[in-house]
Amino acid sequence: MKVLRTPETSFASIKDYPFEPHYTNVMTEDGATIRIHHIDEGPSDGPAVLCLHGQPVWSYLFRKMIPYLTGAGLRVICPDLVGFGKSDKPAAREDYSYERQVEWMGAWLEQNDFTALTFFGQDWGGLIGLRLVAAHSTRFDRVVISNTGLPYNPDVPQEQVAEVEAYRASAPTPTLFDMAKEIGRLSWETKEANPARVFAVWQKFCWETEYLPIGFMLSFSTEPQTKLIQIARALLHKLGFRAPLPSAVAQAYDAPFPAAEYTMGPRAMPSQVPSLPTSPSLEHQRLAWEFFDTFGKPFLCAFTDDDPVTKGSDKEFRERVPGAKNEPHTTLRGGGHFVQETRPKEISEVIIDFIARSQTTAQR
């Protein structure tokens, strides 16, 4: 396995990320070594929160939440997934799979011997982190999730599977703006359109775009901008500029990826979402749901009301997970997909209150 490491100089000018790096080496199945980065902030004896990011971001995503959480006396641990942030980046598409990410992060978790954790995950952070909870349940005391899921789709009709596979194989690569328009009509609830086919637009865009405009996408979707700036940046991107008029936030999200060869993780992982019954992770997902069907520890959902990718996914957790019963689940208004950027205070308060309440309940 060829493994890339982003030069430290790429992160030198990042603002608002003053956190000490910590590194853990884990071994891959073929004997290669991968270095995984994490930050560890707040009192070492405080209740620990493991925050796991998704795609295409990194632990920088939690920079706004960390002061709220540590200010409440919590210890905050934020790793970078393999292929992201300051963690090492395997260079080939076949190096990445859902199962490998779970195995790598499980090895990281065991080597650091973190226990009594509150898990918080969003996007792929939830997909991977919920599997970590299932596989290492004694290390976790409670769970909070936002804008994520645990996909298990064994009964998708064959004609819909064929539609997705044909689209992936022969449709032209969607542009960024074509992709955004398509994702805007995604719904896993109404099933008015084949949701796996709509989601495949995102999968195809990521895989077939050789150098993803990650900073541009994150800045455009999470930062307040005047209409004039939005139009100017959109036009420049259409003209071929990958990162037009980059803000400090855009530069920070681009920092882990100084060249296209570093982006294989963000490109490959969307195609690993098990949205079809042909997914190699299907049985693992079934077993994970079997675990959560009996999971009695506190489990809280805090989704936004306007995320097209995951809106409504919390319903299944609320109904199936015993630990989610009678919890004060929260819907955050207008936060979009990356709630850590848009609603950091609100989501932090949800976590702080949840820990305090469940600890008080446990002491009674």
C-alpha 73/C-alpha 16 separation (Å) is 20
Where along the chain do its domains lie?
Answer: 3-152+279-363, 158-272
pLDDT at 193: 65
Query: Which residue in the list 53, 237, 284, 337 is annotated as catalytic?
Result: 337
235 three-class SS:
helix
Query: Could you report the per-residue pLDDT of 328-345, keeping only the tens digit for each?
Result: 999 999 999 999 999 999
123 catalytic per annotation: yes
pLDDT at 24: 98
- Of 325, 274, 272, whose CA–CA distance to 299 is shortest? 325
Query: Could you report the per-residue pLDDT of 296-309, keeping only the tens digit for each?
Result: 999 999 999 999 88
pTM, two decimal places:
0.95
Query: Could you report the per-residue pLDDT of 57-107, keeping only the tens digit for each?
Result: 999 999 999 999 999 999 999 999 999 999 999 999 999 999 999 999 999
* Cβ atoms < 10 Å from Cβ of 70: 17
Q: Tell me if 336 sits within 8 A of 307, measured CB to CB.
A: yes
Q: Is pLDDT of 30 > 90?
A: no
Query: Which residue in the list 80, 88, 95, 123 is annotated as catalytic?
Result: 123
**What is the CATH T-level fold of the domain 3-152+279-363, as seen in this structure?**
Rossmann fold (3.40.50)
| Structure tokens that stand for 294 in this block | 């009996």
Q: Which helix (H) or strand (E) holds 293?
A: none
Query: Which residue in the list 88, 141, 307, 314 is annotated as catalytic?
Result: 307
Q: Tell me if 144 sits within 8 A of 332, measured CB to CB.
A: no
pLDDT at 194: 80
Query: pLDDT-derived band of residue 174, with 50, 70 and 90 as boundaries?
Result: very high
